[in-house]
Amino acid sequence: MEIEDDEKSRAKSVDRERSHRADELFEDSDGWIQRLKVRDFKNGGWQAIVVGVLYRLSVDDRYSKDCEEILRHLTPVGEEPALESVRQRYLTLDINLRAMVLHLLSRLTHETRSVRDYMEECSEEMTKHRKDKIEVQRARRDLISELKMLDDERKILLPENTPRSPSPVAASRQTSTDADGDSKMTGADEEDLDGDDDEDGDDTDRGRSLRRGGERANERKRKREAEKEKADAAAKLPKTSKQFQKVLKTIESVKAKIAKQEEKIASFDEDLRQADCARFRMMGRDRFWNRYWWFERNGMPFGGLPQSSTAYAGYANAMIWVQGPDPSEREGFLVEEAGTKWASEEGSDMRMKMNGSNDGRMTVLERQALEESSTTLTSPTQYGYIDTVEEFEQMLSWLDIKGVREKKLKQQFEEYRKHIEEGMVNRKKYLAGESEGAPSMEAGSTRMNTRGKTHIDPEIWRCLNWTNETMIDEHGHTHFEQPQPRKASKKKGSAQEKGVPLNRQGKPVSRQGDRYSF
C-alpha cells in the first residue's frame, strides 16, 4: 500500500511539472522567501515572488485548481522560466486570473499575525466602548428620573403661577369710557341720570338719592379693600414665582445634560461600528432572497480613512451590491414551494392571490421574471450593483414594507441613506475628475506619433494614486521600497555634551602637564 501511495504522489508531481515549470524558477524551493526578505521587487522580482507563493499554495487541494491555471500561464512548459519572462507574461495575464491572484493573496493575510492582533485589538476596544456606553446610559437614566420628578414639581407649582381670569362680578364693576372719553362706573351713572330727570320730584325721591350716595361710598370702600387684597396677593406672588423659575431653570439644565449623554452614546455607537471588523454586516434580503451589501456599513469610517492618500475622493465603496440567493434558499422558497405549485390545492376552484398579484395563477418565479427582467440572480456567485442616487431611490420605492424581510431592509437603508447617497455623489464626481483636492496632472509631454499603437491614458490607472501612508509614517518607506539607511547616532554622554574641553584633535584635554594645586 505504501508503494502505491508513493507512485500516486509521484504521478501527481509529474502531472504538475508537465502543466507548468514554477518549481524551476528558483534554485531553492524557498528562494522566493529570501528574495522577499531583501525586498527584491523590481525587474520582475515581485512577479516571481507571486509565482513562489502560488506554487506553495498549489499543494493545498483548496487552492490547487486556481493556482495551476495561473502558473500554467506564467511558467509554461515550453519556455525556460526566468524573471524577465515571468514579468512579460504577467502583463498578458487574463483580468479574471489577476483578480484571482489578489483574492488568494488577500485570503492569506487573514491568517497573519498582524491581522489577528488587529482584530484582537478591535475586540478589546469594543469591550471597552460597551462598558463606557453602559455607564453613560446609566447616568442618562438617572437624569431622566430626575427630570420626571422636576416635571411633577413643575405641574404642582403651575396653577399658583398661572394668571387668573377676571370674575364676572369684577368685570361688571370695571370702569368704562363713554363717547366723550369720560370714565364712568357701570350702574352708578344710570342712577345719576334717573336722579337728574326727577330733580323736581317729591321728598321721597330726595331721600332715595341721599341713600344712593351712601351706597356709592360703601362701593368705593369695598373697591379699595379689593385693591388692597390684590396688592397683598401680588406682594406674596414673587416668592412663589422664584421657586417656580428655579424649577424651570433646573429642568433646562437637566435636559442639556441628557442631550450631552445622548451625544456620548451616539459617539460610542459610531466607535463600535468602526471597530466591528470581524465580518461584514449584511443589510438584509428582499422578497426573492437576494442579499444586499454596503461595505461601508461597519469596520471603517464613512467615506474611508480621513488620513488616506485618496481621502479626497470622499468615498470608499459607494455602491450597493446585490448577491444572488443561496441554492438551498432558491430551491426551497422559490422553486419547490412557490415556483412550480399554485397557492391553492389541486382541483380547487379557489385561487389564492400570491404576493399582491391580481392574477391568482402567477407564481413567485413568474413575478420575479416580470419584475427583474434580465437582471435576475440565480446563485450567490452572481452580483449586481446600484451606483447612482436615482437607482437607489427606485430600489427603495420598490421595497414593500408589508413584508418582514423588506421592512427590515428598508429600515437599514433609511438609517444610512444620507451616507450612501453622499458616497454615490462623490464617486460620480471622482470618476468625472471633479473631486476637490484631487492631485493635478502635470502638463502633457512631448507629442509623438502613436499610429498603430494602443493609446494608454495614465489617468485611467487611478489605483496607482494610492500610497501606504501608514507604512510611510511608521517606517519612512513603503513595502515596495528599500528601507532608508540609518543615520549614525551620536554616543550618549559624549565629552562635548558633558562640557569637557577638547584639544585641536577633538579629544578631551588630559590633566597631564598641568599644574596641580593641592
What would the 3-class secondary structure string for 17-29 be?
HHHCCHHHCCCCC
If one compares 123 and 517, the residue with the highest pLDDT of the two is 123
C-alpha cell at 89: 507574461
pLDDT number for residue 491 = 55
C-alpha cell at 266: 451616539
3-state secondary structure of 457: coil
Q: What are phi and psi of 310, to 5 degrees?
A: -115, 25
Give 442-462 pLDDT, tens digit per residue.
444 444 444 444 444 555 677
484-to-33, 34, 304, 479, 487 alpha-carbon distances in Å: 21, 20, 29, 12, 9
Strand (E) or helix (H) holding 322: strand 320-323
**Where do we find the cell 488587529?**
118
Q: What are phi and psi of 277, to 5 degrees?
A: -110, 5
Give 148-164 pLDDT, tens digit per residue.
999 999 988 887 666 66
Strand (E) or helix (H) holding 183: strand 183-185
- Name which of 154, 123, 398 is nearest 279 in CA terms: 123
Angle formed by the axes of helices 389-398 and 417-431, nearest 10°: 150
Look up residue 460 and give its amino acid.
I
If one compares 89 and 433, the residue with the highest pLDDT of the two is 89
Look up residue 169 and give its amino acid.
V
Q: Residue 32 and residue 26: Cα distance in Å, rounded? A: 7
* Torsion sign, CA atoms 358, 359, 360, 363: negative
* pLDDT for 320 beyond 50: yes
Give 13-50 pLDDT, tens digit per residue.
555 446 888 888 887 767 888 888 888 888 888 999 99
Longest CA pairwise span in the chain (Å):
156
pLDDT number for residue 445 = 40
What is the band of 5 on the pLDDT scale with cuts at 50, 70, 90?
low
47, 91 in Cβ contact below 8 A?
A: no
pLDDT > 90 in the chain, percent:
38
* pLDDT for 101 beyond 90: yes
Strand (E) or helix (H) holding 176: strand 175-177
pLDDT number for residue 478 = 83
415-to-259, 403, 411, 419 alpha-carbon distances in Å: 20, 18, 6, 9
The rounded mean pLDDT for the chain is 78
Q: Can you count the helices (H) and strands (E) in the chain? A: 17, 6
Q: Residue 19 and residue 107: Cα distance in Å, rounded? A: 24
pLDDT number for residue 336 = 74
Q: Residue 483 and residue 500: Cα distance in Å, rounded? A: 37
Strand (E) or helix (H) holding 291: strand 291-293
* pLDDT for 11 beyond 70: no
384, 377 in Cβ contact below 8 A?
A: yes
C-alpha cell at 195: 336722579
Give 239-275 pLDDT, tens digit per residue.
557 888 899 999 999 999 999 999 999 999 999 999 9
* pLDDT for 1 beyond 90: no
- Name which of 477, 464, 479 is nearest 39 in CA terms: 479
32, 51 in Cβ contact below 8 A?
A: yes
Give 388-398 pLDDT, tens digit per residue.
999 999 999 99
Q: Residue 274 and residue 305: Cα distance in Å, rounded? A: 11
**Where do we find the cell 390545492?**
345
What is the band of 295 on the pLDDT scale with cuts at 50, 70, 90?
very high
Query: In which region does residue 452 sit, left (phi positive, over 0), alpha (psi from -120 to 50) or beta (all else)?
Result: left
